[in-house]
């Protein structure tokens, strides 16, 4: 049973480009969470999704950021017109029921140059 | 709003027990205590969680005080691979959608 798969592991984008981060949850998990970790800081919650629905996006920046979790395929975190301040590690986690603890992926490290 | 307080760093000799404290004085009756760790920028790894009883698994033990205002994570025989940042988190366990609030955690260094 593969764990939470995130790709790419590393992503470099120039300022103004778009970044698309993918997360495939564990088999049987229909709840997905995205977190961001800036250098030397703790993880900050961004968004919680259940298949085809956004449950809680209270941690998402109001502009340029969006997330989806379609019926088929991975969850996507999309960052439009990236800026240097978007450089961070983005972690995805999944849960079977949204109740107890969840499993994290290895993260995508985004570098904006 | 991490709702927990942890020392920023600790050292532990290899082979000894590592005792990591956490204060959560404002914890509510339906909030669980969770522990995760993050090894060198990898994804956080679940360790253990509990509500009010002490818990033990293959990785660690969790001791929660009777008033639930603090807890201690115990790694019984620390190894060099246990060097990591340890996060203590309180979360409502049975309410769909409640995310984890990660604070700055405790950076544990296991010394040979």
- Which is it for strands A43-50 and B61-64: parallel, antiparallel or unpaired? unpaired
Contact A35 B102 (CB under 8 A): yes
SS3 for A61-102 is CCCCEEEECCCCCCEEEEECCCCHHHCEEEEEEEECCCCCCC
Q: How confident is the model at residue B3 (pLDDT cuts 50, 70, 90)?
A: confident
Quick: pLDDT tens for B45-58: 999 999 998 999 99
Q: For residues A94 and B96, which has the higher predicted lDDT (pLDDT)?
A: A94
| Averaged pLDDT for residues B80-84 | 96
**Least confident range of A71-85, B5-19, B22-36, B91-105:** B91-105
Contact B99 A56 (CB under 8 A): yes
A5–chain B nearest CA distance, Å? 11
A2 touches B: beta carbon within 8 Å: no
Q: How far apart are CA A55 and CA A109, in angstroms?
A: 25
| Contacts for A73 with CB less than 8 Å, ≥ 6 apart | none
In tens digits, chain A (113 residues) has pLDDT values of: 569 999 999 999 999 999 999 999 999 888 999 999 998 888 899 999 998 899 889 899 999 999 999 988 999 999 999 999 999 999 999 988 766 678 999 999 999 99
* Cβ(B60)–Cβ(B75) below 8 Å: yes
Contact B46 A101 (CB under 8 A): yes
| Averaged pLDDT for residues B28-39 | 90
A91 touches B: beta carbon within 8 Å: yes
3-class SS of residue B56: strand
Quick: pLDDT tens for B71-80: 999 999 999 9
B38–chain A nearest CA distance, Å? 10
B53 touches A: beta carbon within 8 Å: no
**pLDDT of B92 higher than 90:** no
How many contacts (CB atoms, under 8 Å) link A and B?
Answer: 55
Q: How confident is the model at residue B84 (pLDDT cuts 50, 70, 90)?
A: very high
**pLDDT of B6 higher than 70:** yes
| Averaged pLDDT for residues B100-111 | 90
């Amino acid at each position: 049973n593969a764990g939470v798969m995130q790709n790419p592991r590393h992503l470099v984008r120039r300022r103004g480009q778009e970044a698309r981060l993918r997360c495939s949850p564990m088999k049987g998990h229909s709840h997905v969470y995205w977190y961001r970790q800036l250098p030397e800081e703790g993880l900050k919650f961004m968004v919680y999704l259940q298949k085809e629905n956004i449950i809680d996006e209270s941690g998402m920046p109001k502009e340029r950021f969006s997330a989806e979790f379609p019926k088929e395929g991975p969850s996507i975190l999309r960052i439009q017109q990236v800026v240097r301040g978007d450089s961070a590690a983005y972690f995805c986690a999944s849960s079977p029921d949204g109740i107890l603890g969840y499993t994290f992926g290895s993260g995508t490290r985004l570098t904006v140059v | 709003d991490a709702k927990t307080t942890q020392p920023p760093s600790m050292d532990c000799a290899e082979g000894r027990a590592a005792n990591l404290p956490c204060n959560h004085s404002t914890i509510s009756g339906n909030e669980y205590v969770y522990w995760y760790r993050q090894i060198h920028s990898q994804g956080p790894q679940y360790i253990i969680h509990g509500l009010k009883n002490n818990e033990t698994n293959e990785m660690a033990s969790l001791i929660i005080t009777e008033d639930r205002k603090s807890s201690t994570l115990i790694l019984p025989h620390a190894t060099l691979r246990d060097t990591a940042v340890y996060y203590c988190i309180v979360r409502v366990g049975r309410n769909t959608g409640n995310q984890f609030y990660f604070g700055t955690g405790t950076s544990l260094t296991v010394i040979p």
